[in-house]
């Protein structure tokens, strides 16, 4: 008896030492629930994460002893409820959560399970030949009838409503139809990294939502610092640009001749001259139409004379 006791104690000691080594080696430690989790699928998940993570299932008491040897990780204890798998990895907690979610599969419903959502059997040909199966479908609340050589579901039928317990009749009918309404996945309850515990509700947030939230926060912070005139590396160029434009506008308005704005002043003066010239011509027409016409004829004559001189110069050149 004594030898047997020593042997068990030695095994426990080795298990604790290995767990302690994993806790110290890997920066991320996750806790996943394996309540009602199929062994076959568990092996599939372990194979999918091979080389990326170590997944261990051990006695909770031994895991807690190992945690006591690494004080900063004791906070994980609060997230261990019931049968659990412990994951040790270098992966980011969000990437780990995503990897576990992607390695999921569908499974048949079992009597006593709670429906996570409405379980609906769609209308259509089942491919099942006439026989006792028709009664099984009807007893589950599925509207069906014989149509030729097979059983046909005549309309979409809700077999189990969300939150209801699945009856043996419903489970049998869904199995006959080949419907797998339950998703099987290793549920990551929490993950520890750098002193922070990320829970499932946080890890489940999509990357796109996180990026969008960070962009909104950045824009809000940028607007605030700019409005209160608080200089930062991100907004200093905008402040300088605004100051330059304000100074330039002031210089043009005050007609201060400076190399940086002289062209703008000349352009502004030219525009004002054109407006003034147009205004003077309109005033002449209104006050003395004949004089305005005479000026117009003089302008036309001057233009004609310039054209003739240009033509003569061209002929002389030839």
Q: Which of 286, 74, 80, 86 is nearest to 186 (CA)?
A: 86
Pairing of strands 187-193, 28-33: antiparallel
Alpha-carbon distances of 117 from 43, 66, 158, 181, rounded to whole Å: 27, 39, 10, 9
Instruction: Give residue-wise pLDDT tens across range 43-95.
Output: 888 888 999 999 999 988 999 999 999 989 989 988 888 889 999 999 999 99
Structural domain count, the chain: 3
Tell which of 220, 252, 284 closes a domain. 252
Instruction: Give residue-wise pLDDT tens across range 226-249.
Output: 888 888 888 889 888 888 888 888
Find the CATH number of the domain harbouring 161: 3.90.105.20
Instruction: Give residue-wise pLDDT tens across range 88-116.
Output: 999 999 999 988 888 877 888 888 888 88
Classify residue 278: in a domain, yes or no.
no
Instruction: Give the pLDDT band (50/70/90) at residue 315.
Output: very low
| Mean pLDDT, residues 160-168 taken together | 89
Do 33 and 133 share a domain, yes or no?
no
Instruction: Give the pLDDT band (50/70/90) at residue 194.
Output: very high
Maximum distance among all alpha carbons in the chain? 136
> Structure tokens of 269?
């003066």
Among all chains, which residue has been given the structure tokens 């945690």?
A: 67
Tell me the residue range of the domain where 34 lies. 2-104+185-205
Classify residue 38: in a domain, yes or no.
yes
Do 190 and 48 share a domain, yes or no?
yes
pLDDT at 37 over 90: no
Do 234 and 143 share a domain, yes or no?
no
3-state class (DSSP) for residue 248: helix
Looking at the whole model, is its pTM more than 0.75? no
């Amino acid at each position: 008896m004594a030898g047997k006791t020593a042997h068990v104690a030695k095994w426990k000691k080795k298990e604790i030492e290995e767990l302690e080594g994993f806790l110290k080696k890997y920066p991320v430690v996750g806790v996943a629930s394996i309540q009602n989790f199929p062994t076959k699928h568990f092996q599939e998940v372990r194979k999918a994460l091979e080389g990326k993570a170590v997944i261990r299932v051990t006695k909770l008491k031994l895991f807690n002893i190992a945690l006591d040897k690494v004080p900063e990780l004791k906070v994980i204890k609060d997230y261990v409820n019931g049968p659990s798998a412990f994951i040790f990895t270098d992966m980011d907690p969000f990437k780990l959560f995503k990897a576990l979610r992607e390695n999921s599969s569908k499974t048949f419903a079992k009597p006593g399970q709670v429906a996570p959502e409405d379980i609906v059997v769609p209308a259509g040909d089942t491919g099942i030949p006439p026989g006792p199966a028709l009664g099984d479908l009807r007893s589950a609340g599925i509207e069906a009838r014989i149509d030729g050589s097979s059983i046909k579901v005549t309309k979409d039928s809700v077999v189990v409503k969300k939150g209801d317990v699945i009856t043996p009749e419903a489970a049998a009918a869904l199995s006959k139809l080949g419907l797998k309404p339950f998703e099987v996945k290793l549920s990551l309850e929490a993950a520890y990294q750098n002193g922070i515990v990320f829970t499932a509700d946080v890890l489940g947030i999509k990357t796109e939502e996180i990026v969008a939230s960070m962009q909104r926060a950045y824009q809000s912070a940028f607007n605030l610092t700019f409005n209160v005139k608080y200089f930062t590396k991100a907004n200093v160029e905008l402040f300088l640009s605004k100051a330059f434009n304000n100074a330039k506008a002031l210089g043009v308005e005050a007609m201060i001749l400076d190399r940086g704005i002289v062209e703008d002043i000349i352009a502004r003066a030219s525009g004002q001259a054109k407006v003034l010239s147009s205004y003077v011509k309109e005033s002449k027409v209104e006050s003395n139409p004949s004089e305005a016409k005479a000026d117009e004829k003089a302008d036309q004559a001057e233009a004609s004379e310039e054209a003739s001189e240009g033509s003569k110069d061209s002929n002389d050149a030839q």
